Amino acid sequence: MLHLLRQVVEEVNSTRDLQASLRTVVGRIRAGMNVQVCSVFLWDAHVNRYVLMATDGLSADAIGKVTLTQNEGLIALVGKREEPLNLSDATRHPNYHHVPGLGEEPFKSLLAVPIIHHRKVLGVMTIQRTEPGRFGDSEEAFMVTLSAQLAGVIAHAEATGALSGLNLMGGEQLDVRFAGVAGSQGVAIGKAHVLVPPSDLNSVRYRPARDIAAELALFENALTKVRSELTATRERLRSELRPEELALFNVYVGILEDRALGDAVVELIKKGEWAQSALATVMRRYIDHFESIEDDYLRERAADMRDLGRRVLSHLQASVPDVAIPDHAILVGEEISPTVFGDLAAGRIAAIVCTTGSANSHVAILARALAIPTIMGVQELPWQGLQGEELVVDGYRGHVYYRLSAEKRQYFESICKEEAEREADLESLTDVASETSDGVAISLMVNTGLQTDVVRSQNKGADGVGLFRTEVPFMMRDRFPSEDEQAKIYRAQLEAFAPLPVTMRMLDVGGDKSLDYFPIVEDNPFLGWRGIRVMLDHPELFMVQIRAMLRASLNLNNLKVMLPMVTSVSEVEEALAIIHRAVLELNEEGVAVNLPEVGVMVEVPSAVYLVKEFATQIDFISVGSNDLTQYLLAVDRNNPRVANIYDSLHPAVLKALKMVIDAANEGGIPVSLCGELAGDPLGAVTLVGLGYRHLSMSSSNLLRVKSVLRQIDSGWAHTIASGLLHLDDPKVVRSTLRLALRKAGIPLTDLGILPS
């Protein structure tokens, strides 16, 4: 059974034609399960019907023709109930619906299971026998397992198929939409620029060849190049390698010269596939074959094949034109690596679409700072086929559109225009005081990381920097920056804002922030070696960084230092010892720097309970609501599958925020909040209501937040926030806040808040 399961999933996974592969699948299941019929119906949202996509056992003429509404027959019943139906005699069921021409008459017993992906019913799969009698428990369990596995691959194949512009029944389809998680607000229309990850056979996807002759030539050329590279390396290393190692090169060259492999790839290209996926399919076949061999030596050859495949692939990918990112491109990829941060900062990128990650991934945070519309976690997006295609990114709702209709285009163009007008209106608030309508001052600071953030922040009239993420400049390099290099970067920030304070956070790597030159590979990176933990284990890194910060602050005295990911008081003590030592060392060297204010980030649940203890050791507290939410709710901030349950307005988070401010007030220590919650107008109102008076956010949100705070009364906000603490659901919290703002006459759309 497991073998059948694997075969079926692989078949659909590697498909270029969903219908063709479902036909193979139903045949396999029919034979494997020893039944007379196996069929698959899929839901086609464009025609609002279930469509018979494949059958082995019923009338082949009915495929693509027989359709059922949401209320018709047993298929609809299974779709509605979202559970299997196991019937001894289907014809006796009250919902049985006879479809003429389907050829179901001889079959009595029926097992129908829903195909569900992310809570959405994609279709129904059935098996039937002529003899009456319920299917056995193990058969039912197997079909449920199979449909759960199949659901993901069908969803993906449907998404890929959607690019062809046809719906399941072959009708034309416009406004093809892929849903992800809203990462950064705004709308952009532009051409996709696909970021291809470094040659990885598993990430290559099927794409039709635009020009078969050209693909064939590319492939032959790549083979020739790899062959001559291998021969050259062999000659270069001839005197250094043992004969058996040299022989390996001969084996590689031999594999490339053996036409069996080349011919298999050529055959697939001739059938209309582009060279990259043709190569990947054939190489995977070889690798699977070697991996299944008992003999240890031969099994190891799988690794050789993988290496060889990667070499050829890298030449194919190098030949893909247009590697430079064109202006106004929409970046599309599985991951957005720090190598493109420079392009982002230069303001040349219209939008970002990422198939992984979520709203609080660091790529999204960076994009928000730069006001680049961004969508994260668009898991089903067939990104490989999108190079050069026109897309629309709706960063408010988290949707990417393809093949736009004229009406939709007009709609999005009008949103772009409204956005520009709103931004222009907000500009008038730059120099007015940041205070509530009853005159309570709220200091609004910015979060920075890139050098360009400085200019953007100053334009918005910020009260200083509440969080400088020092890891960002570290991520853009290929080695740790030296003390001098760091000092220069820090000096630029401190000078730009002086005399306003700049809060620099000690390096916070780990989690989803990795440095290529300092890889941390862990099963649970967010619970692993991250932030202060790394820095205390590497006092030499800590020392270089704090020395650079202190030197940069000379004669400016606006530096504040902040420690990330603190879980215990002992970590604070250890860090303070290093900071004191650095000041002493520098003073001894004749650099007259003072001890800066030192603060702790409260972003781990344990820290919420330790605020009073911290207060005796340090000068300020800053709440990191992004991580605090992730750790309190046990929801990975980076995982699109659980993005819908990640919400910093969750009542549990609000209760923790209340505890922190109460403890800080009792301990007599100032407290600010620098997570994304501060930049969300609903979040800012809540925080002010809870008593927070210092908020730090992306510069792009600062004026929107100022605008809403100037319209509210602090007493009113306190009453609202106190009420929120008694609610039990983050969605209710949000709608309560919206309602309260609306009743207070504050227009939500002016704040960029769309109706839910």
Interaction mask 528-557, Mg ion, x per CB under 5 A: ------------------------------
C-beta nearest to ligand PEP: residue:
624
From the list Mg ion, ligand PEP, none, pick the one residue 600 interacts with, judged by a Cβ distance below 5 to 8 Å according to partner type: none
Query: Which residue's CB is nearer to ligand PEP, number 633 or number 674?
Result: 674
Q: Which does 334 bind (CB under 5 to 8 A by kind): ligand PEP, Mg ion, none?
A: none
- Does position 636 interact with Mg ion (CB under 5 A)? The reply is no
Query: Residue by residue, what is the 3-state secondary structure of 632-661?
Result: HHCCCCCCHHHHHHCCCCCHHHHHHHHHHH
Q: How far apart are CA 92 and CA 756, in angstroms?
A: 45
> Could you list the residues that contact ligand PEP (CB under 6 A)?
365, 467, 469, 508, 603, 624-627, 674-675
* Antiparallel, parallel or unpaired: β 329-333 and 399-402: unpaired
Partner interacting with residue 675 (select from ligand PEP, Mg ion, none; CB below 5-8 Å by kind) = ligand PEP
**Which window, 92-100, 147-155, 351-359, 625-633, contacts Mg ion (CB under 5 A)?**
625-633
* 461's tokens: 């009239």
C-alpha count within 13 angstroms, C-beta hemisphere, residue 83: 3
The listed partner (ligand PEP, Mg ion, none) that binds 531, CB under 5 to 8 Å by sort, is none
625 binds, among ligand PEP, Mg ion, none (CB under 5 to 8 A by kind): ligand PEP
Amino acid identity, position 294 = E
Give the nearer residue to ligand PEP in terms of CB position, either 363 or 541.
363
707 neighbors 423 (Cβ within 8 angstroms)? no
C-alpha–C-alpha distance, residues 26 and 438, integer Å: 70
Q: How far is the CB of 641 from ligand PEP (least distance, A)?
A: 20
Question: Which is closer to ligand PEP, CB of 571 or CB of 627?
Answer: 627
Which span (205-213, 405-413, 619-627, 719-727) binds Mg ion, by CB under 5 A?
Answer: 619-627
- Cβ proximity to Mg ion: between 674 and 682 the closer is 674
The token pair that represents 376 in the structure block: 């994260």
Phi-psi domain of 471 (left: phi exceeds 0; alpha: psi -120 through 50; beta: other): alpha
- Confirm whether 362 is a catalytic residue: yes
Q: Which is nearer to ligand PEP, 276 or 626 (CB)?
A: 626
Task: Point out the catalytic residue in the list 38, 315, 674, 694.
Answer: 674
What does 491-512 look like in DSSP terms, one character per residue? HHHHHHHTTS-EEEEP---BTT
Smaller CB distance to Mg ion: residue 501 or 624?
A: 624
CA distance 108 to 88: 7
Q: Which of 362, 399, 650, 694 is catalytic?
A: 362
Task: Name the minimum Å distance from CB 721 to ligand PEP.
Answer: 19
In angstroms, rounded to a whole number, what is the distance separating the alpha carbons of residues 626 and 630? 6
Among 394, 571, 603, 676, binds Mg ion (CB under 5 A): 603
Provide the phi-psi class of 98: left if phi over 0, else alpha when psi is between -120 and 50, else beta.
Answer: beta
354 forms beta bridges with 333
Q: Answer for the pair 436, 442: CB distance below 8 angstroms, yes or no.
A: yes
**Least distance (Å) from ligand PEP to the CB of residue 505?**
8
Spatial distance between the Cα atoms of 281 and 201, rounded to a whole number of angstroms? 8
- Pick from ligand PEP, Mg ion, none: which does 190 bind, CB < 5 to 8 A by kind? none
Contact 197, 204 (CB under 8 A): no
Shortest CB 180 distance to ligand PEP, Å? 20
Reported residue count of the chain is 756
**Please, where are the H alpha helices in 380-465?**
406-427, 452-459
Residue 572 interacts with which of Mg ion, ligand PEP, none, CB < 5 to 8 Å by class: none
Residue number, 262 or 675, with CB nearest to ligand PEP: 675
Q: If you search the block for the tokens 């050329």, which residue do you land on? A: 221
Nearer to Mg ion (CB atom), residue 380 or residue 676 = 676
Nearest-approach distance from CB 533 to ligand PEP, in angstroms: 14
Helix (H) or strand (E) holding 695: strand 694-697
User: Could you tell which of ligand PEP, Mg ion, none binds residue 333, using a CB distance below 5 to 8 A set by kind?
Assistant: none
698 binds, among ligand PEP, Mg ion, none (CB under 5 to 8 A by kind): none
By CB under 5 A, residue 453 contacts Mg ion = no
Can you tell me the distance from the alpha carbon of 351 to that of 331, in angstroms, rounded to the nearest whole number? Answer: 6
Distance separating alpha carbons of residues 200 and 310, to the nearest angstrom: 6
Q: Which one, 541 or 623, has the nearer CB to Mg ion?
A: 623
State the minimum distance, in angstroms, from the CB of residue 601 to Mg ion.
6
Work out how close the CB of 365 gets to ligand PEP at its nearest, in angstroms, rounded to a whole number: 6
At 35 the three-state DSSP class reads coil
**Bridge partners, 55 (sequence order):** 39
Q: Site for Mg ion (CB under 5 A): which residue of 627, 636, 676, 680? A: 627
Give CA–CA dist 675/677, Å, rounded: 5
Q: Work out how close the CB of 743 gets to Mg ion at its nearest, in angstroms, rounded to a whole number.
A: 34
Closest CB to ligand PEP among residues 102, 642: 642
Q: What is the DSSP string of 89-154?
A: -GGGSTT----TTS--TT--EEEEEEEEETTEEEEEEEEEESS-SPPPHHHHHHHHHHHHHHHHHH
* 79 is a contact residue toward Mg ion (CB under 5 A): no
Return left, alpha or beta for 621; rule: phi > 0 is left, psi -120 to 50 is alpha, else beta.
beta
Q: Are 326 and 337 in contact (CB under 8 A)?
A: no
Q: How far is the CB of 632 from Mg ion (least distance, A)?
A: 13
**From ligand PEP, Mg ion, none, which one binds at residue 154 (CB under 5 to 8 Å depending on kind)?**
none
Structure-token match 């010892």, residue found: 577
Pairing relationship of beta strands 85-87 and 109-117 according to DSSP bridges? antiparallel
Give the nearest distance from C-beta 469 to ligand PEP in angstroms.
5
CB 183 to Mg ion: min, Å? 17
Q: 84, 395, 624, 683: which one contacts Mg ion (CB under 5 A)?
A: 624
Question: Which CB sits closer to ligand PEP, 229 or 335?
Answer: 335
* Residue 674's binding partner out of ligand PEP, Mg ion, none, with CB under 5 to 8 Å set by partner kind: ligand PEP
Nearest-angstrom CA–CA distance, 631 and 479: 30
List the catalytic residues.
362, 674
Contacting residues toward Mg ion, per CB under 5 A: 603, 624, 627
